[in-house]
Amino acid sequence: MRQRYSLSQIVDLESRFRTNFINSLTGFKSLALVGTVDAAQQTNLAVFSQIFHLGANPALIGMIVRPDVSPRHTLENIEQVGYYTLNHVTADFYQKAHQTAARYAKEVSEFEAVGLTPEWKADFAAPFVAESQVQIGLKLEEKHELLINGTILVIGSIQEVFVAQQYVGIDGFVDLEQAGSLTSSGLDSYHKTQKIARLSYAKPYQPLKEV
């Protein structure tokens, strides 16, 4: 039997319980390390799970940054330089990825602090994570503060992607499961995936097929 949680009950929940409860309700989320650098070439690395597809043409990715009530080095760097990277997390280094959420001082590079390797590509102004199997370079296009809760929507356009050809199907589908990309739920739970099936394009009154 399902337990009902009314709005008033949710509001009255203990703070940490409520945070975990609400954060995990929406299901599994995209997971990536965001690599940035400031104008003085100080690198920064931070794990994010509020990342989502916004469109394929132009190719856009959205990311939510929490309210700017304390120093947000990732956002500051993106605003300064205008470029950043998304790097998929695998089981080989998910604990190091999680550790980047710690509040290191501005002058400390999370790459060095957690033991991950910054990888610089020719003509791109932000560092990638060398250990990542799927790397995406983005350019800042828009930034919007959401008045309802003070979070910040960052919209980036894809400038380049690095992924082994073996993970890219003949129809362009990127097999993230084969690449070892992890997903997350809540604030601290990491998961592997298991594909059930890919299905054909849905049309009225047409039977679906596995593709």
For 90-148, what is each residue's pLDDT tens digit? 999 999 999 999 999 999 999 999 999 999 999 999 999 999 999 999 999 999 999 99
Q: What is the pLDDT of residues 175-184, one digit of tens each?
A: 999 999 999 9
pTM for the model stands at 0.94
Q: What is the pLDDT of residues 29-70, one digit of tens each?
A: 999 999 999 999 999 999 999 999 999 999 999 999 987 655
Q: How many CA atoms lie within 13 A of 30 on its CB side?
A: 16
Helix extents (H) in 37-131: 73-81, 94-99, 110-114
pLDDT given for residue 69 in this prediction: 54
pLDDT reading at 20 higher than 60:
yes
Residue whose structure tokens are 């082994």: 164
Q: Hey, CA dihedral for 193, 180, 165, 110, is it positive or negative?
A: positive
Give DSSP secondary structure letters for 133-144.
SEEEEEEEEEEE
Average pLDDT over residues 167-175: 96
